[in-house]
Chains A and B, each alone.
Chain A
Amino acid sequence: MISKVKQVLGPDAQFILGDTAVTYGALLAGCRFFAGYPITPATEIAEGMARLMPKVGGTCIQMEDEIASVGAIIGASWAGVKSMTATSGPGFSLMQENIGYACMTETPCVLVDVQRGGPSTGQPTRASQGDMMQARWGTHGDHEIIALVPNSVQETMELTIEAFNLSEQYRNPVLVMLDEIIGHMREKIVIPSKIKIVGREKTKMAKEKYLSFAGEKIPDFATFGSGYRVYATGLTHSETGLPSTDDPEVHSKLVTRICKKISDDREKLQDFKGRYLSDAEVVVLSYGSTSRSALTAVELARKKGIKAGYLRLITVWPFPEKLVENLNCSRILVAEQNLGQLVHLVRESARCEVQLCPKIGGEVHKPREILARLEE
């Protein structure tokens, strides 16, 4: 399977767009269904899938809108096929209801948001990190989500693969949160020779005993056409999957389980890169394209004798509370391309002073802008 994909993708080393790296990662991970709708700056993902998907024998369909795109990938996932969609802010807003449906029905699927300036139509061709809180809380009701944030084209490919693996493991939608800079940046990538793939784990339980939404953590999955006759609904459901909307205990048990299956694994899911942290007095916390400027700023500060440290979050949701709590410094500077989103979570977890270094308008922070804040 992977060798066939590699053959279609071409040479192992290539100079490609971040958006294209999403398509490479998806196909390598075994994604064989893509549904999408054009939107700047994520269109290249749909275009890439339209070009590559038929060559690997998968299915690619342009839907009438982003609501339908998420509907289609959930349907495809239940039909037994790994699936993905990709969008940007306005489309991401439209997707929210069906993302909640995927959480409630425990449907593995991957959604990519290439963030642009908002609110509303905003700056279609400019970068932002303005959807980070929407990624966490965009859909209504209690739920948990996994969101990964790359800061290079290579990592975009790798995290897309990881997103598929986690969505299969946790039976939950997983978000890959790019920003326009990462999506529209060209860099060299190397397709790894060995790739860890989590396949669709099918239940081995006997049909008579099988309950599609049972268990303490993650239920066994049986997909359509497998003879298990499964029923999934967005309504509160019992372990059978059938609606049970009036019993407070059924609702509490279900929603607590679908939240805890992810939040209990917060530390296991935590992924980050740290530099100069051991003796750091001030730590710059960042993610995505901002982190590239943050690293330069920290290195410039070190040259000036400032004990600065660098922490880049890769897993943003679930938020790595312990990681932030354990930072042994006197000040955390959160640099993000919004007017303050993840900073709230950092404030909640940190044991020291937390400051925000915001930037909006579509340009990444200049290293000297962050450096100036470190020199304060």
Chain B
Amino acid sequence: MLSGEELKEKYLRKEMFPTVFCDGCGIGNVLDYAIRAIEELELDLDQTVFLSGIGCSSRLPGYINSDGLHTTHGRALAFATGVKAANPKLDVIVFTGDGDCVGIGGNHFIHAARRNIDMTVIMVNNYNYGMTGGQAAPTTPLGGITTTTPYGSIEFPFDVCEIAKAIGVPYVARWTVTYPYKPIKSIKKAIQKKGFSYVELLTPCPIQWGRKNKLRDIKALWDWYKDNTMLLEDWEMINKYGTEEEKQAIEKKIKIGVFQDIDRPEWTSEWKKYVKRLR
């Protein structure tokens, strides 16, 4: 296995360092996990396109030494659809944030998912718009303090994994970046999956989110993710067989794990068949 420095040498654009990310930010970990998944898969970066929208996490493709398209806010999946549909030989990986993906880009997300066009979407969920100074996102938990919800959010957040699952996305997973192995494994699986795949990574944002929500300390914030998440399987077992007290205790836990792993006909393959049928 290559070391961090060796991976950096092999896959990243050195002229782009240091990164724009704050101390204690988890987005660097997302890049690390994605690169490790790519290394394990031996993906050819000459034939891989990374796309993104706007926001902190959308800066990621700029660090990778491959083809990249840093698109407009929320629209990465529309651009990615064009790349993949026009040239299905290319592997398409999208980095997007929660505001980018399901705020301004929500419509593109549900439609790219519905079409089941082959691409991997890595959604960095840090509960807020970090780059603009920490505003409320569609994922901000109830009561969450942001600059646009200074007295606590009164809106229900999206559970994007449940949305993706309901649309029939073939591969849906959520992990925290606090542990590396599960995210790496899921990103690998997502890239290999023929069709639309969605991996959500809960990512600490100490400066714009933590600071306002009594989680200013980097370690305390990272520990929060460990304490407030629960494996999907465990959650389901307790809900099925647990006592009322046990059920109540896990009510507010965030489920992590693989939400869906199925196979469905994929858009570019179906288009190819459609064209062939007409000849």
Binding site for B on A (CB under 8 A): 32-33, 35, 54-55, 57, 59, 61, 63-65, 67-69, 71-81, 83, 97-98, 101, 105, 224-225, 227-235, 240, 242-243
Residues of chain B lying within 8 A (CB to CB) of residue A83: 82, 86
A232-B68 CB under 8 A given contacts A64-B111, A76-B85, A79-B83? yes
A72-B85 CB under 8 A given contacts A230-B67, A231-B61, A234-B71? yes
Q: Are A68 and B108 in contact (CB under 8 A)?
A: yes
- Minimum CB–CB distance from B202 to chain A (whole Å) comes to 27
CA A60 – CA B277 in complex, angstroms? Answer: 15
A233-B62 CB under 8 A given contacts A65-B107, A67-B75, A97-B72? yes
Residues of chain B lying within 8 A (CB to CB) of residue A68: 75, 78, 81, 107-108, 111
Q: Are A54 and B107 in contact (CB under 8 A)?
A: no
- Minimum CB–CB distance from B95 to chain A (whole Å) comes to 13
Q: Are A59 and B86 in contact (CB under 8 A)?
A: yes
Residues of chain A lying within 8 A (CB to CB) of residue B62: 231, 233, 242-243
Question: Is there a chain A Cβ closer than 8 Å to B243's Cβ?
Answer: no
Question: Is there a chain A Cβ closer than 8 Å to B189's Cβ?
Answer: no
Q: Are B89 and A225 in contact (CB under 8 A)?
A: yes
A76-B82 CB under 8 A given contacts A55-B278, A225-B90? yes
Residues of chain B lying within 8 A (CB to CB) of residue A69: 78
Q: Are B70 and A79 in contact (CB under 8 A)?
A: no
Question: Is there a chain A Cβ closer than 8 Å to B271's Cβ?
Answer: yes
A80 closest partner in B (C-beta): B87
Point out the residue from B47, B70, B79, B90 that lies within 8 Å of A235, measured CB to CB. B70
B70 closest partner in A (C-beta): A233
Residues of chain B lying within 8 A (CB to CB) of residue A229: 45-46, 65-67
A225-B75 CB under 8 A given contacts A33-B85, A59-B85, A63-B81? no
Question: Is there a chain A Cβ closer than 8 Å to B102's Cβ?
Answer: no
Residues of chain B lying within 8 A (CB to CB) of residue A54: 271, 274-275, 278
A231 closest partner in B (C-beta): B68
Residues of chain B lying within 8 A (CB to CB) of residue A65: 107
Residues of chain B lying within 8 A (CB to CB) of residue A225: 46-47, 49, 67, 87, 89-90
Residues of chain B lying within 8 A (CB to CB) of residue A101: 71-72
Question: Is there a chain A Cβ closer than 8 Å to B13's Cβ?
Answer: yes
Q: How many A-B residue pairs have CB under 8 A?
A: 138
Binding site for A on B (CB under 8 A): 13, 15-16, 45-47, 49, 51, 61-62, 65-72, 75, 78-87, 89-90, 107-108, 111, 271, 274-275, 278-279
CA A158 – CA B69 in complex, angstroms? Answer: 32
What would be 6 A-B contacts, judged by CB atoms less than 8 Å apart? A64-B108, A75-B82, A78-B82, A101-B72, A229-B65, A231-B67
CA A106 – CA B61 in complex, angstroms? Answer: 19
Point out the residue from B15, B90, B111 that lies within 8 Å of A242, measured CB to CB. B15
Residues of chain A lying within 8 A (CB to CB) of residue B79: 71-72, 74-75
A235 closest partner in B (C-beta): B70
Besides A97-B72, A225-B67, A233-B69, 17 other A-B contacts (C-beta < 8 A): A54-B278, A59-B85, A63-B78, A64-B78, A71-B71, A72-B81, A76-B87, A79-B87, A224-B69, A224-B87, A225-B47, A225-B49, A229-B46, A229-B66, A234-B71, A235-B70, A242-B15
- Minimum CB–CB distance from A143 to chain B (whole Å) comes to 14
CA A201 – CA B271 in complex, angstroms? Answer: 27
Q: Are B65 and A61 in contact (CB under 8 A)?
A: no
Point out the residue from A79, A231, A234 that lies within 8 Å of B82, measured CB to CB. A79
Q: Are B107 and A80 in contact (CB under 8 A)?
A: no
B85 closest partner in A (C-beta): A59
Q: Are A78 and B69 in contact (CB under 8 A)?
A: yes
- Minimum CB–CB distance from B65 to chain A (whole Å) comes to 6
- Minimum CB–CB distance from B269 to chain A (whole Å) comes to 13
Residues of chain A lying within 8 A (CB to CB) of residue B51: 75
